Every structure is written in structure tokens, then in C-alpha cells.
Amino acid sequence: MNTPVSTSNHGNIAATRSADRGPVMLERARWAARAFAGYDKPSVDRIVTAVARVAAENAVRYAEWAVRETGFGVAEHKALKNVACSTGLAGAYAGHDYVSPRADAAEKILSIPRPAGVVFALTPSTNPVATVYFKILLALMTRNAIVISPHPMARECCADAARTLAAAAVAAGAPDGVVQVVEEPTLPLIESMMADPRVDVIVATGGTPVVRAAYRSGNPALGVGPGNVPVLVDRTADLESAARQIVDSKSFDNSILCTNESVLIAEEAIADRLVALMRGAHLLTPDERDRVRDLVFPGGTFDTRFVGKDASWIAQQAGVRVRAGTKVLLAPFDMAVPEEPLAHEKLCPVLGLLRVPSARRGIDAARAVLRISGAGHSAAIHSTDPQTIMEYGAAVPVLRVSVNAGNSTGSSGIDTNLPISMTIGTGYVGGSSAGENLQPGNLVNWTRVAYHVDAPFGDFDRLDPWSPPAGPVPPYPDASNARTAPVPNARTAPVPALRTTPASPASDTGELRDEIRRLILEELASLVRS
């Protein structure tokens, strides 16, 4: 049993009760970022280790809370993600250094790390607490301050998790305000904070509307696109292993991860054997398939009521009888075309099945699936033929391919040596500024101090511009004439003067705000339709 960390005293994190708290939070974050940027490596390591430990201790509690609050997913699987994004993440980067200068005598270049500063992080309802853990730890590893803006459907569990990690960070020596959370996210608040010049980078994990809004905010942004993962199984595959891993992956957290398999493409020669080995999968008859398709895709559009619901419940709603313990509904279809709903992304345990005469045709089918959606995201293949694997990797327009592994945990780095990540970059092909799994290096730049090629290089051994804090960091300074009313369990800070920037024409500003509002509203409403 994990012991919950008390959250009754979180005075070091600002609670947000209305839109006018945004500037207060960002000013506090900017103050914390300036202080944190001077910490040395041992101090940063101590903070990261302490926060990761507290996060892992609360992994089960927050997993159960997330399922209760959002109504979808599997608590056991969410707990695994929470551990992977806490102590697992800290362990994976234990040998990395994003704090100390690096001297390259051969190239005569001294590289000095420069944190981004203030990170504004949008987190989804599908992987709520894992993403909060993930983004907070990445920020702490790179000496950034972070403000978490949780999805409204997962607001309570995410806010509590952020407060818990904030308290752990400050107790380990981090500056006051280094981690904050928007307690009551509203459209005007999110809109204004994303566009605020005190934000140095936005990290957006969510639907396309949120990512687009982040990119249009005027601040640097790291965002990702949607998935629609094809998985190819050829005649050389270990069918027992492939069948087990595909079922486990597709049912993992009820297909909440955007890396879950969407369409299974099987060579005709092994398709029947593969399906027979997929224990826990129910092969739908044509009539059953049509009923499930019409239910899950009414009018051809995915109904978000089925996000993260289990296979048996979906079958029951469609009037389909399945065995107890059914994890996946296997839905055969004939062509990967946009008009076929089953060829689209499905954030629920309904897996499309497409049979192909050869591996070469399977590669073509995977490309067709990705033309519908999911370009740049991820794909999977089960094969023992290096030539086919290489041709698949070169042909599919994605930036990560899992081989002989379930893609839900493969492309997210949990079951492969890819970076563990809850934010999957889709690169240029997917319209994203990031092409890799988001990792600490994305939140730090390096100043290059370059010598003349003929000049002697300096001796920088044992030199470090940073130093450990000399005792506890003083709290964020509160002015005596602060204009904000006290908030329970939160420090009170003054409303600072906004940093000014050249004004844009009123019409352009109005159009931008209207567009941001429209896109955010679309995203926030997408998972709460009845």
C-alpha cells in the first residue's frame, strides 16, 4: 500500500481561482526560474530524486483517482505509467547532465546550458497524472519553472498531483513557485497565459485544436499530432508473441495512449492463425462489425463517449455478445480509405483488421492508413525479416516504429529503449516542431563559447558557474500593497505589472484571440460530449 503524501499544506504553490491570477502565477514562475537557473548539478539531482520518489509513492492513488474522475482507462495500467514517468524517468536520465558546462578541447568550444525559463504545460485527460509527472520532472531536470494547465475532465487529480510534487520540490530545496498549477482552468485564463510574454515555451499534449492554439499563441511551442497506428504482421513473425503483444497493447489502459494500435494488417497466409492466437480478442462477424462501427462512429465520426471504455462494455452497448474477459473487439474491413471509419484512430479497444496478400502490400496498406491520419506519429511491425523491417521503416511516414513489441508501450519508450515520453513529436511530416519523444533536451538550449581556430583553448576543468544554494531559498517576495485577496492554502503574491510588447493592430489581435478561443473550446469540449 502506498502512503499518500499530505496535501493539506501547499503554501508554496499558487492556487488559481480566477483569470486575474494568471499574471501572478507567471511572475512567480519567472522569479523561480531565475533562481533555479543558478543551481548546480548535485542540487538539481537531489530535487529530481526527491520529487520522483514522492510521485512513485502516490502512483496508485492518483491512478485510481484519474479513473474515478475521468470515467475511463484502467487504474492498474495508469499506475504503471505513473511509475514509468516518475522513478522510471528519473532513472533513465540519471547519467545525463543538463546543468554543467561542457568543454570540447578538440573543437575549442565551451557549451553552457541555458534553461528555457518558464514552461506552460497543457496536459490531457487521457494520460493525466502520468503527463503531469513527466512534464514536471523534465522541467526540474533542466532547471525550469513550470505551470501545469490540466484538462478540465482531469482537473482535480492533476491539480492535487502537481501540488504534491511542488511541495516535494520545495522541501528538497527548489525555489518557491518552481511548480504551479492552474486550479480552475477556463478558456480566457488559458488563452491569456499561453500568449503572455512571460511564458518561454508551451508544451502542448492533447488534441489538434490545443496544439494549433499553442502554435498560434505567439510564444515558442512544442506540440504533437494525433496517432493512427498501423501494425503489420508478416509471415515470418513469431505469431504467438505477436498475438499476445498486440492484444495486451491494444487493451492497455483501454487504448487511451495515442500510441495504441489502430489497424492490424496481416498477411493472408498467417491471418487466420494469428487471429486464433489472439486470446482475449473477439472477432466480430460482419453484422456485429457494422453494429459496433455504427455505435462508435455515428455519422462517420468517432464518438468520444467510448474513449477508454472496455471492450465488453462497448460490445454490450452495440448488442454484441462476447465472452467474459474479452479485451479487444477485432473488426475486419476491406480497404484503408478515408470513408472507412475503422481505418481511423480509435482511442478504445476496437482494432481494425485488414488482410493483405503480401508484406509489400501490407506496407502499402500501412501508408494508406497514415494518409488518413497519424502522419509522423508511430507504427509497429512484427517480423523476423530485416529486409521487410527496413523497408517498412523507410516507407511509413512516421518517426518511430516498434519492432516485435506492443506499440502502446513501445513507441512511448516504456518497453523499448526510446525515451520514456507522454508527448510524441511528429516532426515536419506531422506538422510538429518536435520530431522525437519529448525529453529533457527539448527544454534547454546551449550557449556556444567558440574560440578562434588558431587560439589556445582555456582549461575549464573543475570550473562551474553555478553553486549550491546557500541555505533555504527565500520565499517569493510579497509586496505589502498586494492587490490580491488571500487564497486558502496558497501564498499571496502581488499582481505584477505586465511586461509590455509592441502592440499589434487591434483587428489582428482580435482575430487571433477569437481563433485561439475557438480552437481551445473545440478541444475542451471534445471529451465531454454526452
- Position 3 scores a pLDDT of 34
Q: For this structure, is 258 an active site residue?
A: yes
- Position 510 scores a pLDDT of 55
Q: What is the CB neighbour count within 10 angstroms for residue 220?
A: 14
The closest of 114, 92, 150, 209 to 518, measured between CA atoms, is 209
Cα(476)–Cα(481) distance, integer angstroms: 15
Domain ranges of the chain: 21-224+439-455, 229-419
- Position 515 scores a pLDDT of 56
b/e for 112-125, b at 16 or more Cβ within 10 A? ebebbbbbbbbbbb
Question: Using the 8-state DSSP alphabet, how is residue 398 labeled?
Answer: B
Compute the chain's Rg from CA coordinates: 24
- Position 212 scores a pLDDT of 80
- Strand ranges inside 26-101, DSSP E: none
Query: At a CB cut-off of 8 Å and minimum separation 6, what does 510 contact?
Result: none
CATH architecture of 21-224+439-455: 3-Layer(aba) Sandwich (3.40)
Cα(515)–Cα(115) distance, integer angstroms: 30
Cβ-in-10-Å burial (0-12, 13-18, 19+) of 68 comes to exposed
Please check whether the domain covering 229-419 is classified as CATH 3.40.50.12780: no
C-alpha cell at 358: 503480401
pTM of structure: 0.85
Of 157, 158, 258, 348, which is the active-site residue? Answer: 258
- Position 521 scores a pLDDT of 52
Residue 520, Cα to own-chain centre: how many angstroms? 17
- pLDDT profile of the chain (530 residues), mean per 10: 37 44 92 95 97 98 97 95 96 96 96 97 93 98 97 95 97 96 89 93 83 85 88 98 98 94 98 98 97 96 94 97 96 96 96 98 98 95 98 97 96 93 89 88 97 96 85 69 39 33 43 54 46
Cα(51)–Cα(92) distance, integer angstroms: 15
